[in-house]
Structure 1
Amino acid sequence: MEVTMIPATKKVNTENVDKYHQIRVAAYCRVSTEQEEQQNSYQVQIDYYTQLINQNKEWELAGIFADEGISGTQTKRRTEFNKMIRLCKKRKIDLVLCKSISRFARNTVDTLEYVRQLKDLGIGVVFEKENINTLTMTSEFMIALYGSFAQAESESISKNVSWGVEKAFRDGRVRYNLNSLYGYRKGEDGKPEIIPEEAEVVRLIYKLYLDGLTLRQISKHLNVLNIPKREFAEWSINGIHSILSNEKYVGDALLQKTYTVDCITHKTAKNNGERTKYLVTDAHEAIIDRDTYNLVQQEMARRTSMRKKSEKTVSLQGRYSGKYALSEIMVCSECGSAYKRQIWNIHGKKCPVWRCISRLDNGNRYCKNSPSLHEDKLQNAILSAINEYYDCKEDIKELLKSNVEQALAGVSIKETKEIQYRLHEIDDARNDYINLIASGVMDEEAMDEQFQKLYTEEQELNSRLKYLEENNDINDDQKSRISQALQIIDNNSCELTEYKDMLIRKLIECVKVNSKTEITIIFKGGYGVTAKVEK
């Protein structure tokens, strides 16, 4: 084995390098809030490190990097910190000064990771408060220890902040983000102030939804009208849904819809019952009246809870159709299945018909007699029934008002009167027995059993009467549908000559197909009309 020595050709003057080379020193400063006292601390740190580095002849200022009003639990949003790390990797910084480990990072993992990265590059970090230089220390234990203290402090602060926020929620103090709340702007008192032109768009969205349009149809309608939206160029399904489901449009504010899962990652999650929610009613001026808002929420729940109509559908979830009103309300009297629109080709001519879905899926196995109805004849029968409905509108009004009174009472008036009458009879019977005893006709001890029976029955009847009186809450859905029917009768007094899906949705609760020549139409409010269908 032979070894050949290759001599050096250049001579390095290490004395001159050590004597004249200045260490490029950078400083990192951070304050976590934008409060005035923190801002003063922020500026003091910058001035301090600028003066400290410039006073040392062996140091050269490589930059002061400072993040203001930024949390230290994560580094991804700390732009100045990340800029400093990039310069370190480019070998433009030799030493980093920092007030303390908690200013460098409040996350133990991040602290150790960046310290190791810089140490591998030959760059030290000096933490003044802890008196630690990462280049000269032999163990990471102290950094890990102090980093853990800083992280624990962050977690404690986070808990205190969360407690303070929830206390504000309990007190009903609402913090508004009005930049993304369409229809509102910040008023002089800090509360939401209505923007009239945007408020009209919100009301239009609610009206179109109650008229039966889908979210997609509403967004398409607004885009065709070129109605401007604040955030995006076009209206979207999600944007429409957000407006329809946001309680702020009725003047309320639901607090703690989301919560922070981890103060280190700042990950948030939707509050599905993991935390307490707080509803502040009438917190600000409303754009939508409460009845309309409640109707929309009920309709949204109804559409969401729809189940499949056909057995051939794979998913159990049904789908609301905004195209044809009859798809939602027309059912077979024999089997209870919904009806579906189909196109028949008769002698080369397309003819729309309505057929029972069970009959389509299973033939006559379960539904033997359900007829197929031609759409034009079906619509004529419905128009005839509606016109009859309008012709006797005064009688219908009386019936609907009676239904409203019944709903407001929430009990059977007949049963209530019967109980009151029987209580009056018991009272009279007791008085009769007392008169018999007083006159000496009957012995008092002999009447004890009769008095006990009357008392027991009286207690049961009073208990039943109290139950009926306490459970007299109106059914909001029933009341709103009856009110809608009354309003439609008032607003539409003329005879209809054209079938309109929108009017059908507003006016009719259900269409039952009895036979090839007869259907029953149930109007909202409970009034029913039987109509003949032409053969």
Structure 2
Amino acid sequence: MDGNMGIRTITKIEANPALFSRTADNRKLKVAAYCRVSTDEEDQLNSLETQMKYYTGKISENSAWTFAGIYADEGISGTSVDKRKEFMRLMRDCQKGKVDYILTKSTTRFARNTVDSLTWVRKLRAIGVGVMFEEQNLDSLKAENETFIGFYSVMAQSESESISGNVKWGVRKRMKNGTYKVRFDLLGYSVDKDGNPYIVPAEAEAVRTIFKMFLDSASLLQLQQYLEGNGFKTPRGNSVWQRSVISYMLKNEKYVGDVLYQKTYRRDCISKKVLRNNGELTRYLISNNHPAIIDRETFNLVQLEIARRSNKRKKSDKGLTELGKYSGKYALTDLLVCGCCGGAYKRTCKNETDKKVYYWRCINRIDHGTTACRDSFGIEEKKLHSAILRCLSKMMSDREEVVRLIQSNLQYGESGNAATLDVYNLENQIAQLNEDMTIFMDRAASTGGDVDKYEAELKKMFEQLTALRNLLETAKSQAAQSETVNNEVARLTALLMEADLNFSEFDDVTIRRIVECIQVNTDKHILVTLKGGLQGEELI
């Protein structure tokens, strides 16, 4: 015998009394009842109370039974067991030996999903727990009854599908004639006792502010900080705003007084999975349905800005995807380009004599050195800001003349053939994005890696593609005129003609609104291009 072997011992593990009692002779069955109503209306709740009283009495009156409780779900559909807390609690108690037998009114009360019904009946029968369906007089412990239980479960599911179909028909009929009531759980709106929306002035002002801030380059994070910092609650009463909620607000047509019906739909009444309607079902747009908070011009500009930000190209080839990240903090992140290699510039920090000094440097030079960009150079931020301000001051010395030039350049490029140019640009962006998606999918298939990350990026790219296609559809329908471009011209003109507009201090919002691009040339000059094509040059 191995000298290292321990002493052989025997440990007694007591049986679970609750499970052991199921096999004992002359035992009393622990009987429970399951009740469910599908709505929380008063007559349904009265029906539930009646069921509970009936089963409490019935179980208590039987001397061979022990009352194991009533499990009741209120206002819950029977098409899925996952959301029925009491049903799932009953199943767990059965598995723990707390319940030996279940009484329920009918197969429709137990489950309206054939798969769920048969799955749980079989699981319970495997551990010796039976279900009595009183209306059909079926005991699940009898194997010959399974066929009938399955038959009645199919009928229950078919009934649910029929009811669901009738409800959908009624809903779509009301959508078609514009009488369907939608929820207005949006910042800026509330509803009266008849369900009609009205504007909440203080909240509406906040909504206008975030739309303006977004056009003035603010990121979703900055909009979140504004809402939380000013104490605005979410539609659900939370103090913390999710950026996805703010993004939804910026895209919501209700703010211009319209309602778009059937933006989403449920795949079926069993899974209840909600899908975005990308054209699978008819949509109905009700224009001027209620008072607007945002004018259509501003709303359209915001949609274009969303698409522009979503379609940003990456600045560094070290990124996983072809998509770039929008920065709402520094205007130069999106505007500054290298005159040597054409790459973007990046803000960097350097510690000098106990203080931080910020520089802007070519990303290609940072990532790959002089082999990728030989002649670019870093610029100290303060010097760069000063050069830009000097250049803009010179260019704006005759402001009215500059405004006329910008207007004429923009309108020459857009007027008469504005929608055609928009369509051309959007088609190019869509083609490029399709090509990027193909390359990305090939890379994902060949390299493996984090599948979830690849799927998330693909989903983001698909959402951008959908947004661009929607914009393309809009541009085609407005081929004879382009209100959006004209509004942008008017907006830019108004900004340039403001009396207090000056270039004594660097302001990211102003720079982003009037400057199209700033090129850093190797001869230590910057070339500033305003929106509309007007250019100016300045020594750094």
Q: Same fold (TM over 0.5)?
A: yes
The residue correspondences of 1:78-97 to structure 2 (distance < 5 A) are 78-82=84-88, 84-85=90-91, 96-97=102-103
- Counterpart AA for 2:482: I
Q: In the aligned structure 2, how far is the partner of 1:124 from the partner of 1:471?
A: 69
Report how far residue 488 of structure 1 moved.
0.9
AA aligned opposite 1:512: Q
Instruction: Tell me the alpha carbon deviations over residues 381-406 of structure 1, each in whole angstroms, 9 at most, x when there is no partner.
Output: 32233334443222234345545765
Task: Quote how far apart the aligned CAs of 1:43 are.
Answer: 6.0
Q: Which residue number in structure 2 is paired with residue 425 of structure 1?
A: none
- Identify the residue that residue 251 of structure 2 maps to in structure 1: 245
Which residue is equivalent to 2:37? 31
Unaligned segments of structure 2, at least 5 residues: 1-24, 419-477
2:239 paired residue among 214, 218, 233? 233
**Aligned-residue RMSD, C-alpha:** 3.9
- The answer to whether structure 1 residue 307 and structure 2 residue 313 are counterparts is yes
Whole-angstrom CA distance in 2 between matches of 1:508 and 1:515:
21
Q: Cα 1:471–1:228, aligned 2, differ >3 Å: closer, same or farther?
A: closer
Equivalent-residue separation in structure 1 for 2:203 and 2:59 (angstroms): 56
**Which position in structure 2 is the counterpart of 1:324?**
330
Answer whether contact 1:252 1:282 (CA < 8 A) is retained. Answer: yes
Work out whether 1:472 is the aligned partner of 2:485: no
SS at the partner of 2:497?
helix
Distance 1:348 1:60, change over 3 A: closer
Distance 1:247-1:99 versus aligned 2 partners, 3 A rule: same
| Superposition pairs of residues 59-98 of structure 1, within 5 angstroms | 65-82=71-88, 84-85=90-91, 96-98=102-104
> Matches of residues 185-200 of structure 1 in structure 2 within 5 Å?
185-200=190-205
- Measure, in 2, the Cα distance between the counterparts of 1:163 and 1:140: 34
Q: Cα offset for 1:136?
A: 4.9
Greater mean deviation of Cα atoms: 342-351 or 320-329:
342-351
Q: 1:79 to 1:351 in 2, by over 3 A?
A: closer
Task: Evaluate the alpha carbon distance shift between residue 77 and residue 390 of structure 1 in structure 2; reply closer, same or farther with a 3 A threshold.
Answer: same
1:454 paired residue number: none
Write the letter of the residue equivalent to 1:279.
Answer: L
Aligned to 2:163: 157
Larger radius of gyration between Structure 1 and Structure 2: 1
Hey, what's the Cα distance between the residues in 2 that align with 1:39 and 1:349?
70
Provide TM-score, normalisation by structure 2.
0.71
What CA deviation, in whole Å up to 9, does each residue of 1:288-333 have, x standing for no partner?
2222222222112111111122334443211222232122122345
Instruction: Tell me if structure 2 keeps the 8 A contact 1:383–1:499.
Output: yes
Q: Distance in 2 between matches of 1:59 and 1:345?
A: 81
Scaled by the length of structure 1, what TM-score is found? Answer: 0.71
1:134 matched residue in structure 2: 140
Paired residues for 1:380-391 under 5 Å: 380-391=386-397
Aligned-partner residue type, residue 195 of structure 2 = G
Matches of 1:282 and 1:164 in 2, distance apart? 23
Aligned-pair distance for 1:504? 0.5
CA distance in 2, matches of 1:84, 1:28: 8
Q: Secondary structure at the match of 1:510?
A: strand
- Within the alignment, does 1:519 sit opposite 2:523 as a pair? no
Which runs of structure 2 are paired with 1:360-439 in the superposition (5 Å)? 373-402=379-408, 406=412, 409-411=415-417
CA deviation vs aligned residue, 1:104-129 (integer Å, no higher than 9, x gap): 21122332233345545655433343
- Report the equivalent of 2:427: none
- Structure 1 spans left out of the alignment, 5+ residues: 1-16, 413-469
* Amino acid in structure 2 at the alignment position of 1:210: L
- Residue 102 of structure 1: CA displacement? 2.1
- 1:279 alignment partner, SS class: strand
> In structure 1, how many angstroms separate the alpha carbons of the residues matched to 2:255 and 2:479?
31
**CA–CA distance in structure 2, aligned partners of residues 206 and 393 of structure 1:** 28
2:138·2:145 contact (CA, 8 Å) conserved in 1? no
Contact 1:384/1:531 (<8 A) preserved: no
Measured against aligned partners, the alpha-carbon deviations of 1:318-366 in whole angstroms (never above 9, x if no partner) come to 1222232122122345654333344578899866444444555566667
Aligned residue identity for 2:208: R
- Number of the residue aligned with 1:204: 209
The one-letter amino acid paired with 2:495 is I
| Greater mean deviation of Cα atoms: 60-69 or 308-317 | 60-69
Partner of 2:150: 144
Is the counterpart of residue 283 in structure 1 residue 289 in structure 2? yes
Q: How does 1:476-487 map to 2 (within 5 A)?
A: 476=484, 478-487=485-494
- 2:202 is paired with a residue whose SS is helix
**Contact 1:253 / 1:281 at 8 angstroms: preserved in 2?**
yes
Matched residue of 2:517: which SS? Answer: strand
Give the percent of matched residue pairs that are identical in Structure 1 and Structure 2: 43
Shift of the 61–325 alpha-carbon distance from structure 1 to 2, 3 Å rule, reads closer
- Matches of 1:61 and 1:367, distance apart in 2: 82
What does residue 506 of structure 1 align with?
513
SS in structure 2 of the partner of residue 302 of structure 1: helix
Report which stretch shifted further, 54-63 or 64-73.
Answer: 54-63
What is the CA distance between 1:73 and its match in structure 2?
1.3
2:536 paired residue among 507, 530, 535: 530
Measure, in 2, the Cα distance between the counterparts of 1:314 and 1:404. Answer: 36
